[in-house]
């Protein structure tokens, strides 16, 4: 059987603390290891391939797509609008960058979105809907899983967190759109609860809100721990030492942190955003403001039955995003587009 050659193009794993890098590593490993009977996967290779799959939007990858005689696929890890609240650039530069992103996506033959809600947003930017395919992110249960209590206590000790503390975890880059300031304000109102944020300034000084957030990061309230960018191989320890995942983001696509946390059955508390509805099946807690976040955190802390219910919900979500389910989606997609291969 002729194997379809897929060249994965990415530098997503070069910038620490980005969910894009985690998504890239999981997807490549899934196709390379689980679908090797069908596909020959190479990474950043210079030789011709049946399919080029771009995981990041570097200019050199755009040029490779334009020269490619096979099929071009691009991952949509963010929309042009997602840049607002993420990085600070002069208005003119931001406008040019947004136009470049749209051009990159238009150049691809197919686009992969990790959340179906963003299909209409891409169409609004002039992308042909027929070339957009939804395939969700995936997290290996061999990498992210529920740990034993003894291991959890060791991790808490490592980070100087009381073994009996109720721990609220936030994960992601420290930037405005992630809701870090709201995370801090909620923590101030709940001084007897421990708050931990795993992540840092992956974009450095061009991070939106950098000066204010840097001050908060260096001088947090007494019950808040900023533990910086944690290597991905250690993140399972961080999820397990927490009691809940609290993500007050104002804008997301499909955070890898959610998939990673539900593998250890952590209840989810999220801002009430439409984007979560179709991918998390209403099996999570939501709020519109800090008072709502506080109310839900206290309910989870003080009501064991309520906490157990949302633990079970997280487990149910994790079953949908299983390796087997997502593997079949990728297999079907690659085989289908290979049949339609057109030499330009």
**Token reading at 18:** 């980005």
Is 197 a residue whose pLDDT tops 80?
yes
**Token reading at 281:** 């099946």
Domains of the chain from N-terminus onward? 4-138+322-339 (3.40.50.2000), 149-320 (3.40.50.2000)
Average pLDDT, the chain: 91
pLDDT tens readout for residues 265-317: 999 999 999 999 989 999 999 999 999 999 999 999 999 999 999 999 999 99
Q: Side-chain half-sphere of 82: how many Cα atoms within 13 Å?
A: 17
Tokens 């490779």 sit on residue: 64
- Predicted confidence at residue 97, as pLDDT, reads 85
CB-count exposure of residue 299 (10 Å: 0-12, 13-18, 19+): middle
Is 15 a residue whose pLDDT tops 50?
no
User: How far apart are the C-alpha atoms of 26 and 141, rounded to whole Å?
Assistant: 11
Residue whose C-alpha is closest to residue 239's, from 255, 258, 225: 258
- Predicted confidence at residue 13, as pLDDT, reads 54
- Predicted confidence at residue 39, as pLDDT, reads 97
Taking the model in full, what pTM does it have?
A: 0.86
pLDDT (average), residues 206-225: 90
> Helical H runs in the chain?
19-34, 59-67, 91-107, 119-124, 149-158, 180-189, 210-218, 235-241, 256-262, 277-280, 290-302, 304-320, 323-339
- Predicted confidence at residue 17, as pLDDT, reads 42
Which phi-psi region, left, alpha or beta, contains residue 254 (left: φ > 0; alpha: ψ -120 to 50)? beta
More confident call, 217 vs 23? 217
More confident call, 344 vs 29? 29
Number of H helices, E strands in the chain: 13, 12
pLDDT tens readout for residues 102-144: 999 999 999 999 999 889 989 998 899 999 999 998 898 999 9
How far are the Cα atoms of 85, 173, 204, 258, 325 from residue 185, in angstroms, in the given order?
18, 18, 23, 22, 39
- Predicted confidence at residue 2, as pLDDT, reads 83
- Predicted confidence at residue 19, as pLDDT, reads 47
């Amino acid at each position: 059987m002729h194997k379809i050659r897929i060249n994965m193009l990415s530098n997503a794993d070069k910038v620490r603390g980005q969910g894009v890098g985690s998504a890239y590593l999981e997807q490549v490993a899934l196709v390379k290891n689980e679908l090797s009977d069908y596909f020959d996967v190479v990474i950043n290779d210079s030789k011709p391939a049946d399919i080029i799959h771009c995981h990041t939007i570097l200019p050199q990858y755009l040029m490779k797509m334009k020269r490619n005689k096979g099929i071009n696929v691009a991952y949509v890890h963010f929309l042009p609008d997602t840049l607002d609240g993420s990085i600070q650039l002069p208005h003119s530069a931001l406008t040019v960058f947004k136009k470049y992103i749209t051009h990159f996506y238009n150049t691809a033959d197919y686009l992969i979105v990790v959340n179906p809600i963003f299909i209409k947003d891409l169409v609004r930017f002039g992308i042909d809907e027929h070339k957009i395919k939804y395939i969700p992110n995936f997290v290996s249960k061999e990498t992210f899983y529920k740990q034993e209590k003894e291991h959890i206590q060791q991790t808490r000790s490592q980070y100087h967190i009381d073994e009996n503390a109720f721990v609220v975890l936030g994960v992601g880059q420290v930037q405005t759109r992630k809701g870090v300031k709201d995370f801090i304000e909620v923590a101030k109102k709940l001084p007897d609860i421990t708050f931990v944020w795993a992540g840092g300034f992956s974009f450095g000084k061009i991070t939106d809100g950098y000066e204010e957030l840097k001050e908060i990061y260096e001088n947090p309230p007494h019950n808040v721990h900023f533990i910086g960018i944690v290597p991905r191989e250690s993140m399972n320890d961080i999820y397990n030492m927490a009691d809940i995942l609290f993500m007050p983001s104002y804008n997301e696509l499909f955070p890898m942190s959610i998939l990673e946390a539900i593998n250890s059955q952590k209840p989810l508390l999220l801002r009430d955003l439409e984007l979560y509805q179709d991918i998390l099946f209403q099996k999570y807690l939501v709020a519109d403001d800090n008072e709502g976040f506080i109310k839900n955190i206290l309910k989870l802390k003080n009501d064991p039955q309520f906490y157990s219910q949302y633990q079970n919900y997280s487990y149910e979500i994790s079953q949908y995003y299983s390796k087997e389910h997502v593997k079949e989606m990728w297999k079907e997609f690659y085989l289908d587009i290979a049949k339609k291969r057109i030499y330009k």
